[in-house]
Structure 1
Amino acid sequence: MSKLGPISHFRFPVSCDSLVLQGLRCEWGAGVLNLVSSLSHFLILTGHWKFNMAPHGKELSEDLKKRIVALHKDGLGYKKIAKTLKLSCSTVAKTIQRFNWTGSTQNRPRHGRPKKLSARAQRHIQRLSLGNRRMSAASIAAEVEGVGGQPVSAQTIRRTLHQIGLHGCRPRRKPLLKMMHKKARKQFAEDKQTKDMDYWNHVLWSDETKINLFGSDGVKRVWRQPGEEYKDKCVLPTVKHGGGSVMVWGCMSAAGTGELQFIEGTMNANMYCDILKQSMIPSLRRLGRRAVFQHDNDPKHTSKTTTALLKKLRVKVMDWPSMSPDLNPIEHLWGILKRKLEECKVSNIHQLRDVVMEEWKRTPVATCEALVNSMPKRVKAVLENDGGHTKY
């Protein structure tokens, strides 16, 4: 009689080495060994029996597994399949046997390391991040540790937030919109949503902007490798007092760019009226009798002097909601102009003026037309966001 007792004597999962060491091969008869062989094969396929073996090679792809099963169903044996696909017989046999037991060629879900955070802790992290969008991962980790008493790293917090779709991003810079601004923007969009492109093509858009001698005030990025932080091509040159800049007033329409006027010193209402008479009126007349003039609600634009001049010249002025640069297509034209200027090498203000004027006149009509054609989408975006910010 066997000294090992019944098979239930072993606790699963067990390893093949443990059975051999316990004298199974020596003590049991051939019939019992056949039974154990079949049972062990079943335990291997179902995952209850684990092998103490060296790491195996690259895992077979799903397509290759399906080809093995398909060839076996066609009547080919293990050796022929192995020779055809240039695999070992044992690999082919294990693939087919696993398919016979499980009915699929896919691997069972593997169990990784248990998550450090419970589902409750993950919900707490989500509430903290959504409640304060600017809260850092380190601050959230400290908060979670203070509540649950479990130490959590900032990287664990980041991974948890990534899993629920939250990522750390640079916030968009947008004007501060109060409730009255949102109502005005929504009212503007409701009034203009039925306007066709013929209306927008007769609008003269205007605005002022500052152009720096050494690049823009925005955030810049460069591609670099470790150790290249201070190479000339990877740094952003700066000079004392900014190196100088110019202020310009410009206008545009779907027909192309209009006049461009440089502003000397601080602009007041009287200077703005001179710009309107010298630069705006000639550009507006090119659009015909149905032309509409647009400018924002800057105090110089809404002053009594400016209002009286526009009324005297019989200029149709578009009612404009405050804090709405995203509705003015010339804002994007300024961005295009400044990116072109970054490619030009200028060393003083006089050269900057010449290059600005040259690039302004070279702006393609198609660029202006495309910007104006986006007005129906801009209006729709304002309505969809209930007067709030848009992507423009």
Structure 2
Amino acid sequence: MRQISESKRNNVVQCLSNGFSARETASKTGVSKRSINRISQVTLGVKSKPRIGRPLKVTSTNIDYIVQQVTKNGIQSASKVSQILSNDLELSLNATSIRRLLKTLGIVPLIKRKKPLLRKKNIADRVAFAKSHIAWTETNWKHVVWSDETKINLFGSDKIHWCYKRKDTQLKQQHVQQTVKHGDGLFIDGNMDKQLYKTILQEDLLRTLEDCHLNPKDVVFVHDNDPKHKSILVTDWLNNQEFEAM
């Protein structure tokens, strides 16, 4: 079946919304009546036929306004678009009809991808890290011991966030959900400081290496750039260990 272009779909929707029959719409747009009936059912929820009385309220201007709300203004739900139409244009159009319209225009809902909220320095550091380890093999990474972290939600939640995006277009800022990770490795009673962190490394890290039968000379210990981790007290202790700290 031949794919109908987005512009032709828009023309069909506009003609049907203005009260033209399937035959009249076919004559004006060059789209078959069968395709027009299918578009009408998806978009308007009814079969195309000559209308009696008032034409539908959805005009080409209304359609452009709806598309703008979800593609440029980043409105994330059809219900919210319905409220905006009611407030701004005094147009009553329910969320279901808006979803059908957007689907006909090739604009589909998707779950936002989660993306860490990073500063430019964070991004540069990550790129540098990736480039410096691009040649590492699976064997290399098996010698890496990562500091464990528990995720604590201090920024947003784990619920699913939806948005709208045109098919075959790149992700934009409005299509991702910014995330921030936080948390220290062990559950502790009180505040973590450099002395306590050093104690944890001395007792728990070394014991972990022993329990896992890992030779410290072959181990790379990785932790983040928290100020406590980079303190002179901790750095001096790490420099005197057999394992490498990254």
TM normalised by structure 2 equals 0.54
Shift in Å at residue 123 of structure 1?
3.9
Where does the alignment leave 5 or more consecutive residues of structure 2 unmatched?
1-22, 24-32, 38-46, 50-55, 161-182
What is the root-mean-square deviation of aligned Cα atoms in Å? Answer: 3.7
Does structure 1 conserve the Cα–Cα contact (< 8 Å) formed by 2:194 and 2:228?
Answer: yes
Equivalent residue letter for 2:131: E
Secondary structure, counterpart of 2:206 in structure 1: helix
Match of residue 385 from structure 1: none
Aligned residue among 304, 309, 314 for 2:232: 304
Match of residue 206 from structure 2: 281
Secondary structure, counterpart of 1:299 in structure 2: coil
- The one-character-per-residue Cα deviations of 1:37-92 (angstroms, maximum 9, x if unpaired) are xxxxxxxxxxx9xxxxxxxxxxxxxxxxxxxxxxxxxxxxxxxxxxxxxxxxxxxx
Secondary structure, counterpart of 2:147 in structure 1: strand
Q: Distance in 1 between matches of 2:89 and 2:118?
A: 39
Matches within 5 A, 1:23-34: none
Q: Distance in 2 between matches of 1:201 and 1:315?
A: 14
- The one-character-per-residue Cα deviations of 1:323-356 (angstroms, maximum 9, x if unpaired) are xxxxxxxxxxxxxxxxxxxxxxxxxxxxxxxxxx
Aligned residue among 229, 243, 268 for 2:193: 268
Secondary structure, counterpart of 1:277 in structure 2: helix
Does structure 2 conserve the Cα–Cα contact (< 8 Å) formed by 1:284 and 1:293?
Answer: no
Secondary structure, counterpart of 1:208 in structure 2: coil
- The one-character-per-residue Cα deviations of 1:143-189 (angstroms, maximum 9, x if unpaired) are 446776654333322222344242264x4555322222222222222
Equivalent residue letter for 2:214: L
Higher Cα Rg: structure 1 or 2? 1
- The one-character-per-residue Cα deviations of 1:222-265 (angstroms, maximum 9, x if unpaired) are xxxxxxxxxxxxxxxxxxxxxxxxx984xxxxxxxxxxx65333
Match of residue 82 from structure 2: 141
Q: Distance in 1 between matches of 2:94 and 2:35?
A: 27
% identical aligned pairs: 30
Does structure 1 conserve the Cα–Cα contact (< 8 Å) formed by 2:57 and 2:91?
Answer: no
Does structure 2 conserve the Cα–Cα contact (< 8 Å) formed by 1:207 and 1:296?
Answer: no
Matches within 5 A, 1:121-200: 121-144=62-85, 150-163=91-104, 164-167=106-109, 169=111, 171=112, 174-200=115-141
Does structure 1 conserve the Cα–Cα contact (< 8 Å) formed by 2:36 and 2:48?
Answer: no
Q: Distance in 2 between matches of 1:150 and 1:248?
A: 52
Q: Please say if 1:204 is aligned against 2:145.
A: yes
Shift in Å at residue 291 of structure 1?
1.3
Match of residue 315 from structure 1: 243
Q: Distance in 1 between matches of 2:184 and 2:132?
A: 31
- Aligned pair in 2 of structure 1 residues 135, 209: CA closer, same or farther (>3 Å)? closer
Aligned residue among 292, 300, 324 for 2:220: 292
TM normalised by structure 1 equals 0.36
Q: Distance in 2 between matches of 1:108 and 1:159?
A: 18
Does structure 1 conserve the Cα–Cα contact (< 8 Å) formed by 2:75 and 2:81?
Answer: no
- Aligned pair in 2 of structure 1 residues 207, 154: CA closer, same or farther (>3 Å)? same
Matches within 5 A, 1:211-250: 249=185
Q: Distance in 2 between matches of 1:218 and 1:151?
A: 33
Match of residue 23 from structure 1: none
Q: Distance in 2 between matches of 1:110 and 1:182?
A: 49
Shift in Å at residue 301 of structure 1?
1.4
Shift in Å at residue 270 of structure 1?
0.7
Equivalent residue letter for 1:302: K
